[in-house]
């Protein structure tokens, strides 16, 4: 469904991604793990059109998208739940959700999609009239995920979804990600929470200093000696 082919990415004259290639198959949960500053978020922003690769290709659903405007990617079925949530904090929960369904088929099916989101996150339904800036951290993350789902994506990308959450909420978020896949979505996730991420991933890639250094199944990397030493402290 998604194929990244040898991309190089720069910030100005500074190269941060070197010849990165990976793929995400339909119906998979694929993870990209690595330390802070490894280039994970940069890779996600490049896929979603915020940054442009200086070399390489990005293919989504058979179409080259590395020169496509970000708003068109949403209509094509690609959603990005960014790091730090990026909610419209002065708007209500319901208004934030509606911002995720402004175009195309998603706009026509807004009410049905809203009920789908509320079925995943009953707490959001309870707080639908509440200003989103007053929600707890966990509720804000649920809302960010819900807003992404409102666009009816084929593939949804999560950038550090567990960042800043208490351990019990981290478990809930990863259970929700599994549930989203079970409901027919494909998932790409980048995370520093290596143990939880590899536990839910079908396949995973290790990004170090802007380069892919390892790949394998989630369980295989979870038990790999280098990964355990470098990222799990064991």
Domain assignment present for residue 224? The answer is yes
What are the backbone angles phi and psi of residue 5, rounded to the nearest 5°?
-120, 95
Q: What angle do CA 203, 221, 177 make, to 5 degrees?
A: 45
Are 121 and 147 in contact by the 8 Å Cβ rule? The answer is no
> How confident is the model over 163-222, as pLDDT tens digits?
878 888 888 889 989 999 998 899 999 988 899 999 999 999 999 999 999 999 999 999
> How confident is the model over 3-54, as pLDDT tens digits?
999 999 999 999 999 999 999 999 999 999 998 889 999 999 999 999 999 9
> How confident is the model over 74-99, as pLDDT tens digits?
889 999 998 877 898 899 999 999 99
pLDDT for 83 equals: 80
pLDDT for 234 equals: 59
Domain assignment present for residue 142? The answer is no
Domain assignment present for residue 232? The answer is yes
pLDDT for 4 equals: 97
Q: What is the mean pLDDT of residues 144-154?
A: 94
Range with the lowest mean pLDDT among 114-128, 155-169, 197-211? 155-169
Bin 205: left if φ > 0, else alpha if -120 < ψ < 50, else beta.
beta
Q: 225: domain range? A: 1-77+154-162+185-234
We report the CATH number of the domain holding residue 1 as: 3.40.50.300
Domain assignment present for residue 124? The answer is no
Domain assignment present for residue 69? The answer is yes
What are 202's two structure tokens?
Answer: 């079908």
Contacts of residue 105, defined as CB under 8 A and 6 or more positions apart, other chains included, come to: 152
Q: What is the mean pLDDT of residues 95-121?
A: 91
pLDDT for 79 equals: 94
Nearest to 35 by CA among 228, 208, 224, 214: 208
Report the number of distinct structural domains present in the chain. 1
pLDDT for 164 equals: 79
pLDDT for 70 equals: 86
The confidence band for 224, taking pLDDT boundaries of 50, 70 and 90, is: very high
pLDDT for 18 equals: 97
Domain assignment present for residue 117? The answer is no
């Amino acid at each position: 469904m998604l194929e990244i082919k040898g991309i190089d990415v720069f910030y100005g004259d500074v190269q941060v991604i070197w010849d990165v290639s990976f793929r995400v198959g339909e119906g998979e949960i694929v993870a990209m793990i690595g330390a802070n500053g490894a280039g994970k978020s940069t890779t996600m922003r490049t896929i979603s059109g915020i940054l442009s690769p200086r070399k390489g290709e990005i293919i989504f659903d058979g179409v080259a998208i590395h020169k496509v405007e970000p708003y068109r990617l949403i209509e094509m079925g690609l959603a990005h739940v960014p790091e730090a949530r990026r909610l419209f904090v002065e708007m209500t929960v319901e208004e934030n959700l509606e911002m995720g369904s402004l175009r195309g088929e998603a706009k026509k099916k807004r009410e049905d999609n809203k009920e789908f989101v509320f079925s995943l996150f009953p707490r959001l339904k309870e707080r639908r009239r509440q200003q989103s800036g007053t929600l707890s951290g966990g509720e804000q993350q649920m809302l960010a995920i819900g807003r992404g789902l409102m666009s009816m994506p084929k593939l949804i990308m999560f950038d550090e979804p567990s960042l800043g959450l208490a351990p019990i909420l981290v478990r809930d978020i990863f259970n929700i990600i599994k549930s989203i896949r079970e409901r027919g979505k494909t998932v790409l996730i980048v995370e520093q929470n290596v143990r939880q991420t590899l536990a839910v991933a079908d396949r995973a890639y290790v990004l170090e200093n802007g380069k892919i250094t390892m790949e394998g199944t989630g369980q295989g990397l979870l038990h790999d000696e280098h990964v355990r030493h470098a990222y799990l402290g064991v």
